[in-house]
Structure 1
Amino acid sequence: MEITLGHTPDADDAFMFYGIASGKVRSGFAVKHVIQDIETLNRRALKHELDVTAVSAHAYAYLNDYVILKSGGSFGLNYGPIVITKKGSSKVTTPEQLQKATIAIPGKMTSANLLLKLAIGGRFREIEMSFEAIPDAVATGKVDAGLVIHEAQITFDKTKFASALDLGRWWSDNMGGLPVPLGINVASTRTMSKSQITEFSDIFTKSIKYGLDNIDAAVRYAMQYGRGQPKETITKFVKMYVNELTLNMGRSGKQAIERMFEIAKEKKIIDADVAVKVV
């Protein structure tokens, strides 16, 4: 069976799929890789254009006829997206100031955007742009603050920028130690049978396990998506977001996603209850 498989041009996603892409993990699927940024994949999932795809956990609230795979999730363990401001700025240092600020975001359906709304207790003036463009937008004053994701969480220039809000720390401090829900992988129940989804899920788990067991080779492969960052940085980033919950999100991962949606509904950010279905 041929399937379309969407994932981002990011080191952690590439690391997870190394076993499959390298042929070290065999499967009965002919995989067509579709590599695009996470917000594009979120939108494509809304249109059911892909059989299996990475999406933001937030985006799952708007999807129909998809189930979450137990493996491949990106969960922060007391870390996550960060709101940065220009060094020395006093304009945005409190939740109340962030509500009134203009903030660059990497996509409306990103989990980072939802977490920010939950953390500051309301909406804000948002400008959507490529995640790569956000630091420059902050530096040039186009926006008051920027919501950074991916490796920018650990590589932003601390001589130019300050952290105004660490969303990973905020979540962990307020949610009883639940992991920070960021990215998930979903499979379409319109184009794949239950047995096909289960089979692919098992293969995907094996691919992640192969990467973790062969970390140097998998990181070398992932570096083609490292945007010029040194191997040490890519290794650190991969180890942050490919952890034990990536192999199997288990009860705590599912609870984290459910809790995020419960709070979002309480705050009227999403309209309805979300049934979180994990294979």
Structure 2
Amino acid sequence: MKIAFSPCPNDTFVFHAWVHGLIPGAPELDVLYADIDVTNHLAAAPGGPDVLKISYAALPWVLDEYRLIPCGGALGRGNGPLVLTAGERTGISGPAALSGKRVAVPSERSTACLLFRLWAAQQVPGGLAEVIVMPFHEIMPAVRDGKIDAGLVIHEARFTYPNYGLSLLADMGSWWEADTGLPIPLGAIIARRNLDAERIASWTRQSVEYAWAHPEASKDYVLQHAQEMDPSVAQSHIDLYVNQFTADLGEEGYAAIDALLGRAAREGLVPPIERSRLR
């Protein structure tokens, strides 16, 4: 079975057991490790992998071919994307100062970008000059070096941005949670509609449960793919992004997905979808 997910610690932690043949009855996986922008496009292209991790923001474009798997993804509180600047030298002291500025985002169809556009519609009068897509690991150096005015960052950048001399302008997660009272839907696991979704969900959930029961087992695998990340940062990343919603979305998880995609559809940012297609 072909699967694509990012090399980030939460994904490698979640899928370690399945990738290494530790889930009884689960098929062998042929893994493609790819940035979220790559997996978002793979899901929308003909002949994509059987199972993928994509942004929830990309879900409305792929539901004809794929269905949402209710576990294995990233959804939670206190883990939203951050808008960063290079501090006082930029002259950007608040959200309104982003008007007419150039901002980098990690995939046009990422949940991070979707949240940012919803936030900017409220907070940035006059709008942005340009939104530029960059691989997420290139964004902080670009902000630091003055190549762009601000950057929207995800993943371990929450913990490492001070190392680049950057300043936090806004936390998309804090804004979303204050505005809706709901957790943030970040990354979804999807599977082709011609596959047995219940079995895929079962294997994925077993892999999550194995990871929690044997946290030491995946450490070498996680760090191998974590782009020279400090082990403590990798663990903080896992602790933040692997939570109760990773084991099962539950009613609150589905409500958060519906709220995000419903609001985005009303703003014309994503195609509208039937709620029933999420289950």
Q: TM-score normalized by structure 2? A: 0.92
CA distance in 2 between counterparts of 1:14 and 1:99 reads 38
Spell out the pairing of 1:141-160 with structure 2 (5 A cutoff): 141-157=146-162, 160=165
C-alpha offsets along residues 194-247 of structure 1, whole Å, 9 cap, x if unaligned?
A: xx2211110110001100111122233211122212211111110100001100
Q: Do the aligned partners of residues 175 and 278 (structure 1) sit closer, same or farther apart at CA in structure 2, a change above 3 Å counting?
A: same
- Give the corresponding residue for 1:8: 6
> Are residue 107 (structure 1) and residue 107 (structure 2) matched?
yes
Q: Is the contact made by 1:19 and 1:207 (CA closer than 8 Å) also made in structure 2? A: yes
- Give the corresponding residue for 1:43: 41
- Give the corresponding residue for 1:237: 237
C-alpha offsets along residues 30-60 of structure 1, whole Å, 9 cap, x if unaligned?
A: 3211211111111010014111100000000
Structure 2 counterpart SS, 1:200: helix
Which structure 1 residue ranges, 4+ long, deviate > 4 Å from structure 2?
Answer: none
CA distance in 2 between counterparts of 1:265 and 1:92 reads 30
Q: Do the aligned partners of residues 132 and 263 (structure 1) sit closer, same or farther apart at CA in structure 2, a change above 3 Å counting?
A: same
> Are residue 26 (structure 1) and residue 29 (structure 2) matched?
no
Residue 109 of structure 2 aligns to which amino acid in structure 1? Answer: M
CA distance in 1 between counterparts of 2:53 and 2:271 reads 23
**Structure 2: where are the runs of 5+ without partners?**
none
- Give the corresponding residue for 1:96: 96
Residue 184 of structure 1 aligns to which amino acid in structure 2? Answer: A
Residue 207 of structure 1 aligns to which amino acid in structure 2? Answer: S
> Are residue 171 (structure 1) and residue 169 (structure 2) matched?
no
Shift of 1:160: 1.0
Q: Which moved more, 1:222-231 or 1:247-256?
A: 222-231
Shift of 1:185: 0.4
Residue 6 of structure 1 aligns to which amino acid in structure 2? Answer: A
CA distance in 1 between counterparts of 2:70 and 2:120 reads 30
CA distance in 2 between counterparts of 1:171 and 1:90 reads 26
Q: Is the contact made by 1:52 and 1:186 (CA closer than 8 Å) also made in structure 2? A: yes
**Structure 1: where are the runs of 5+ without partners?**
none
C-alpha offsets along residues 33-91 of structure 1, whole Å, 9 cap, x if unaligned?
A: 12111111110100141111000000002112311111112013123110100021453
Report % sequence identity: 26
Q: TM-score normalized by structure 1? A: 0.92
Residue 156 of structure 2 aligns to which amino acid in structure 1? Answer: E
Shift of 1:21: 1.6
Residue 148 of structure 2 aligns to which amino acid in structure 1? Answer: V
